[in-house]
Amino acid sequence: MYFNDNTLVFLDGHFVKPEQASCSVYAQSLHYGYAAFEGLRSYSTTAGIRIFKAKEHYERLHYSCQAVGLPLAYTVEELTALTYELLELNRLSDAYIRPLVYAGEPNMGIKAPATSNLFIAAWEWGKYLGDQCLRLMISPYERPNPKAVPIEAKISGHYANSIVASSDAKMKGYDEALLLDMHGFVAEGPGSNFFFEKNGELYTAPAGSILQGITRATVIELAREAGVRVHEQFFRPEELLEAEGAFLTGTAAEVVGVSSIGEHVFRKPYADTIGAQLAQQYTALVTGKAAPHLLST
Ligand code: PMP
């Protein structure tokens, strides 16, 4: 699924076969989740193959590395150029792209390393959470405390929390988890940001205890351009009882509707919500069919 006989991946300056891209089982990153990553998508657009917001993603990768003291020896421009080269070598157009900066040297210490490794892979991947509206549940697991870890950085170790919450929700018969922050406010999904709609306006958690999604920022821009008010503010799960609709956003998931949270089923059909309209606009934007001024790269 992620690779075939012809796949090439990038590892530390070379394009190699996936089986040649190996890593020590004594690697610091493997033991401590001490690595930073990104998730980008490329699309076939009216102007050729384009990576959506490559600059923003690679700037966030730099921020993530910096936040945990992980060296990153490549500039945003170099990372972007390497990624386009990787797509071309693999003849990929609509792809998901996964760069990973990790500490691959055998090292059982818990001190930041002097060097790091860079791995980038790309593959065709459908919408991560599918196309159907999702049934969410409020997770008993909170997002990590921002005073314990830099939660706005995309650090591999944070995803142990995501996997635990998502698996728990699926085990209980739901499609995905919705996590609260340490103060009991709704934060985000395990791999996506959350919005709800009330009286024609949108609400989403503010910066501070979430990963500030690039899709989230794009959707906020699209909504505001269309004259929809977007509130970035704290809210409690009880407030969702008054919501008319909701959706999740993320590079892998794109924009996907939510039909219910716990026992509460939204009355408005998803097709009639602002989320459904934004999902269409998002697709038009990433494929270059609309609003090109919102594209930075
Ligand atoms: N929150 C979390 C925890 C995520 O893993 C992701 C996916 N990167 C998002 C939000 C959405 O971020 P983006 O829109 O930049 O992909």
Mean pLDDT by 10 residues, the chain (297 residues): 95 97 96 98 95 98 98 98 98 97 96 95 89 95 97 98 98 98 98 97 96 98 96 98 97 96 94 96 91 47
> What residue's CA is closest to ligand 1, atom 12?
213
Q: Domain range holding 160? A: 134-289
Asked, for residue 13, whether it belongs to a domain, the answer is: yes
Shared domain for 143 and 116, answered yes or no, is: no
Q: How far is the CA of 58 from the centre of ligand 1 (A)?
A: 14
Residue 51's pLDDT is 98
Residue type, 152: E
> What residue's CA is closest to ligand 1, atom 13?
213
Q: Which residues contact 138 (CB under 8 A, 6 or more apart)?
A: 177, 178, 179, 180, 186, 237, 261, 262
**160-191 pLDDT tens trace:** 999 999 999 999 999 999 999 999 999 999 99
* Final residue in a domain of this structure, among 100, 123, 146: 123
Q: Which residues contact 280 (CB under 8 A, 6 or more apart)?
A: none
Shared domain for 66 and 150, answered yes or no, is: no
Locate 272 and state its tokens: 């009639």
CATH code, domain with 76 = 3.30.470.10
| Ligand 1 pocket at CB < 6 A | 39, 188, 191-193, 211, 213-216, 249-251
Shared domain for 77 and 172, answered yes or no, is: no
Residue 102's pLDDT is 98
Please provide residue 258's backbone torsions phi and psi, each rounded to the nearest 5 degrees.
-120, 130
List the alpha helices (DSSP H) in the chain. 28-32, 54-68, 76-89, 159-171, 214-225, 274-286
Q: How far is the CA of 92 from the centre of ligand 1 (A)?
A: 23
Shared domain for 98 and 141, answered yes or no, is: no
Asked, for residue 30, whether it belongs to a domain, the answer is: yes
Shared domain for 118 and 22, answered yes or no, is: yes
Shared domain for 154 and 204, answered yes or no, is: yes
Shared domain for 149 and 105, answered yes or no, is: no
Q: How far is the CA of 131 from the centre of ligand 1 (A)?
A: 18
**Minimum-distance ligand 1 atom for the alpha carbon of 251:** 16
Q: Mean pLDDT across the chain, nearest whole number?
A: 95
* Integer Cα distance of 204 and 186 in angstroms: 9
Per DSSP, the residues of 239-282 read GGGG-SEEEEEETTTEEEEEEEETTEE-SS-GGGSHHHHHHHHH
* Integer Cα distance of 43 and 94 in angstroms: 4
Q: How far is the CA of 206 from the centre of ligand 1 (A)?
A: 14
> What residue's CA is closest to ligand 1, atom 4?
191
CATH code, domain with 252 = 3.20.10.10
> What residue's CA is closest to ligand 1, atom 3?
191
Give the closest residue to 154 by CA, choosing from 52, 55, 67: 67
Residue of 147, 154, 198, 289 marked active site: 154
**Minimum-distance ligand 1 atom for the alpha carbon of 193:** 10
Shared domain for 182 and 60, answered yes or no, is: no
Asked, for residue 269, whether it belongs to a domain, the answer is: yes
CA neighbours closer than 13 Å in the CB half-sphere of residue 153? 22
Total domains present in the chain? 2
Is 154 tagged catalytic?
yes
Shared domain for 149 and 257, answered yes or no, is: yes
Shared domain for 158 and 214, answered yes or no, is: yes
Asked, for residue 226, whether it belongs to a domain, the answer is: yes
Shared domain for 75 and 145, answered yes or no, is: no
* Final residue in a domain of this structure, among 123, 143, 175: 123
Residue 295's pLDDT is 43
